[in-house]
A and B are shown apart, each in its own frame.
Chain A
């Protein structure tokens, strides 16, 4: 990445920036700590709803979760974006160069978490990896991990259901990306990559970009505005639906349909998830609430990965560089890997 950043930023603005940052952090912490009592007060005291009533419970849940999740989202997207300014796709490619299959798949999946990624860049990234000699399977491990292990999904899972569910989600995403990428690599499908990919000539070159801390903070702030601006409405709607389920649907209502006993629920969840293309923000609150009501964790995680990771728009984008047999294999292998992960979690949890 080459950017000619204006380098005339003085020490003075640097200091002011960090001071502002400190004030924002303190305000953030203060806000985070008053939302619980505030939500309870509005629901139970100001509106006078009973603590045992469905409406009171749902409303308190909603009033607490929405500001909490939006605060968490802003804070953590900022932190993650700062980390990501240290990982450009170019650097990731350099780190993956020369790695063998196996080790390469693991590295690629891990780097998929921290490298900034937008599905609209999937093609340039794919070409950039493959033509620099990174094995096809390793490239796919990256391309599966990057969108599936999505930062918004992780933050929402953490905020709504605790770190264990979030860690499970990251682990299952990694397993799917590593296994699926490895299998695709073993299938030796290089000839099903569109021919132009192997023939690209470079006329210009991008060089490494140097960023100051001011640049990093500014860019992180830009991503907070962009990501939170894009997902806040989904979060509110998702939590509202989740709060409704929380207050009104009895515990274990879903156990017979989405519980562990129903073996077919895992493939069904994956199949239903493919045409559903929602961003993580809308799906997480609902999926999490399903778990509370008796759906098994493996089934719910499989559904979520399928919705986020297996999307038709992404298939359309990748069609530009992958011939049909490889595209279908790519989808089928991920779908099977997601199902296996679902069964695995249903078995061990």
Chain B
């Protein structure tokens, strides 16, 4: 289960990022919770300086632009690998 956050105060670009994320998550059929973070104190907690920002499992993966669906797919894949590695570590 991934937690994906889209950081942005609601500008057009932020909505595009959110749409792309939803589409990618659906296509990959990954279990993920997509959260919109719109309040500046919460956005700035990630120390970013341009919106939209994309955060997967509390890691900032992109800021200030609209990542392509292919990029988002690779971010999600990497995050999933990290989760699996974590689980393997815990088992051993």
Contact = CB atoms under 8 A, between A and B. Distances in A.
Contacts of B55: 204
Is chain B's binding surface mostly helix, strand, loop or mixed? mixed
Interface stretch (A42-50, A59-67, A122-130, A174-182): A122-130
A205 interface: yes
Interface in B8-58: 8-9, 11-14, 40-41, 43-51, 55, 58
Nearest to A201: B45
Contacts of B71: 3, 5-6
A206 interface: yes
Contacts of A321: 40
Interface stretch (A22-30, A113-121, A157-165): A113-121
Q: How large is the interface on B (under 10, 10 to 19, 20 to 34, 35 or more residues)?
A: 20 to 34
A204 B40 contact: no
B65 A2 contact: no
Contacts of A90: 49
A123 B40 contact: yes
B1 to A, nearest CB: 19
A208 to B, nearest CB: 12
Interface in B62-87: 62-65, 67, 70-71, 74-75, 78
B62 A202 contact: no
B83 to A, nearest CB: 15
B61 interface: yes
A3 B45 contact: no
Given A4-B78, A196-B40, A124 B50 contact: yes
Contacts of A124: 40, 43-44, 48-51
